[in-house]
Amino acid sequence: MYLTREEERTLNGENGWANQTCMKILVRLGELFHAEKLIPITSAHVSGISYKTLGDAPIEYLKALADADAKVKVKATLNPQSLDPTYLTGKLPKDLKQKQLEILKQFNRMGLTESLTCTPYYLSKTKQGSHMAWAESSAVVYSNSVLGAWTNREGGPSALAAAIIGKTPEYGIHKPENRQPNIQVNLRGKLQNETDFGILGIHLGKLLRDKIPTINELKDAPRDSLKQLSAAIATTGMTNMFHFTPTSERKKIERLNVELKDLKHTKEELSTASDRKPDLVFLGCPHCSVNEMKKIAQSVRGKRVKHGIEFWVCTSCHVREKTQDCAEEIERSGGHVLTGVCTVVSWTEKLGIKTIMTNSAKTAYYAPTLSKAEAILAPTRECLKTAVEG
Ligand code: F3S
């Protein structure tokens, strides 16, 4: 891989151990994927922040980087952590909070923004065509497909290395020829709500692996539904983007038909506890948009969350600040607006939650393994109805 003189100096350790370590990660990655050079990035988004999913081992590495004066060179944001500053902090053991704070402290020392959200694209406008190094798979697919930005699916360490160097290896989806659709998905039927988009994503992710589909019927889909599709397609497969425009009939391209009965079957697989009452109704995977906050607040206005049911709405601090009235409305109803966290990266099992009702196919998919809970997958309006009526 070609390196500039400055990049070579960094690789040789002339700019300190932290920069050398990060450059080594990027060069190794670039060589693995036959990148010819490094390219500048406009932003990085780092995942693996939650103590629940990260564990103890990487804390020493983060501390070593921060001790060696590692500093980010581009805007760098963080994915959700394992607890919010108020509600869950008061319910979970103190030592977990201490460990989580230690992780955040190291990222702060390196200059990462404590955004704590999987929807960093709500924080500021993502420029079309900008090259980025993002590590949250749902945000990667959404920004490539809906926002027109360019990012590979990074791991936490490579996104952090890219943030510190300000560059990423030029391979994969950073090259125009790798962004072309190579399979046409013909959806036979109409998706009714955002949860259906998530179910389609889970179904397609399994079949497509890393292929790039163009999917009919998406042109006028609401962005919140495309967010569900993005999160779900990345959950079961390695697809990094999708397109909206159907390819010409004449174009020789693989074709895949998806029937509504396929999606019904996928929904049944995800809904492992459809006949039970939930302990928790959870909305906000991926983190809620301003629009979603407004809709939820409107729906619970003047109502009370049913006794015995937890009702959580997860979003970023940024969106919560912009929708303070809505957050207060949700909390007046007995719900909790939790910032910087979600059920998947927190310890719901330690709170005795055994059944989670959600509108998110991604959360439903992970519930049995990561949350040790059964899932009820249903559209937002059904989730809200259950939250207040039981
Ligand atoms: Fe975000 Fe948690 Fe879902 S990080 S995409 S809300 S699993």
Question: What would the pLDDT profile of 7-28 be if each residue is shown by its tens digit?
Answer: 999 999 999 999 999 999 999 9
Please indicate, yes or no, whether residues 190 and 131 belong to a single structural domain of this protein.
Answer: no
Nearest-atom number in ligand 1 for the CA of 363 is 7
Residues 18 and 151 in one domain: yes
Write out the DSSP string of 343-380: STTTTGGGGT--EEEES-HHHHHHHHHHS--EEEE--H
In angstroms, the Cα distances linking 330 to 40, 104, 359 are 42, 28, 17
How many domains are contained in the chain?
3
Ligand 1 and 338: CB distance under 6 A: no
| 369 contacts: CB under 8 Å, gap ≥ 6 | none
Does ligand 1 have an atom closer than 6 angstroms to the CB of 1? no
Give the tokens for residue 296: 């939820």
Mark whether 107 and 188 lie in a shared domain: no
Both 107 and 128 in one domain: the answer is yes
Please tell me if the CB atom of residue 162 comes closer than 6 angstroms to any atom of ligand 1: no
Does 185 lie in the same domain as 236? yes
Strand order through the sheet with 310-315: 336-339, 310-315, 280-283, 355-358, 374-377
For strand 167-169 and strand 38-40, is the pairing parallel, antiparallel, or unpaired? antiparallel
Given a cut of 50, the residues of the chain with pLDDT beneath it are: none
Q: Give the integer Cα–Cα distance in Å for 39 and 171.
A: 10
Report whether residue 285 contacts ligand 1, using a CB cutoff of 6 Å.
yes
Ligand 1: which of 116, 117, 344 to mutate, most ligand atoms within 8 Å of CB?
344
CA of 343, closest atom in ligand 1: 2
**pLDDT score recorded for residue 267:** 97
How far is the C-alpha of 139 from the C-alpha of 198, rounded, in Å? Answer: 14
Residue-wise pLDDT tens digits, 19-59 = 999 999 999 999 999 999 999 999 999 999 999 999 999 99
User: Is 251 in the same domain as 292?
Assistant: no
132 shares a domain with 25 = yes
Question: Looking at residue 275, what is its pLDDT?
Answer: 75
Q: Please tell me the distance from the alpha carbon of residue 242 to that of residue 207, in angstroms, as a whole number.
A: 14
pLDDT of residue 217: 84
Contact 344 CB / ligand 1 (< 6 Å): yes
| Domain of residue 366, CATH code | 3.30.499.10
Q: Kindly give the pairing relationship between strand 43-46 and strand 131-134.
A: parallel
Q: How many CA atoms lie within 13 A of 98 on its CB side?
A: 3
* 248 contacts: CB under 8 Å, gap ≥ 6: none
Secondary structure percentages of the chain, helix, strand, coil, to 5: 45, 15, 40
Closest among 223, 218, 260, 225 to 243, alpha carbons compared? 218
Same domain, 153 and 254: no
Q: Is the CB of 231 under 6 A from ligand 1?
A: yes
Is residue 157 located within the same domain as residue 21?
yes
Position 250 scores a pLDDT of: 63
pLDDT of residue 30: 98
Calculate ∠ Cα 179-185-186, nearest 5°: 145
**Whole-angstrom Cα distance, residue 333 to residue 229?**
29
Cα separation, 160 vs 78, in Å, equals 10
Measured from the Cα of 366, ligand 1's closest atom is 7
Look at ligand 1, atom 3, and give the residue with the nearest C-alpha.
Answer: 285
The DSSP call for residue 243 is B
In sequence order, the 6+-apart residues with CB closer than 8 A to the CB of 357 are 278, 280, 281, 282, 375, 376, 377, 378, 383, 386
Q: What is the mean pLDDT of the chain?
A: 96
Expressed as residue numbers, the domain containing 276 is: 271-389
Q: Is residue 58 reached through a cis peptide bond, with omega within 30 degrees of 0 on the bond before it?
A: no
Same domain, 133 and 208: no
H or E stretch at 26:
helix 17-32
Query: Ligand 1: which of 54, 117, 138 to mutate, most ligand atoms within 8 Å of CB?
Result: 138
Type of residue at 121? Y
Q: Give the pLDDT score at 159.
A: 98
CA distance 150 to 266: 30
Could you tell me if the CB of 80 is within 6 A of ligand 1?
Answer: yes
Pair 189, 217 in one domain: yes
110, 253: one domain: no
Domain boundary among 153, 176, 199: 176
CA of residue 31 to ligand 1 center, whole Å: 31
Side by side, which strands form the sheet with 213-215? 213-215, 183-188, 254-259
Cα–Cα distance measured from residue 291 to residue 294, given in angstroms and rounded to the nearest whole number: 5
Q: Measured at the alpha carbon of residue 254, what is the angle toward residues 253 and 256, in degrees to the nearest 5?
A: 135
How far apart, in whole angstroms, are the C-alpha atoms of residue 291 and residue 89? 27
User: pTM higher than 0.85, yes or no?
Assistant: yes
Pocket test for ligand 1, best of 122, 233, 287 (most atoms within 8 A of CB): 287
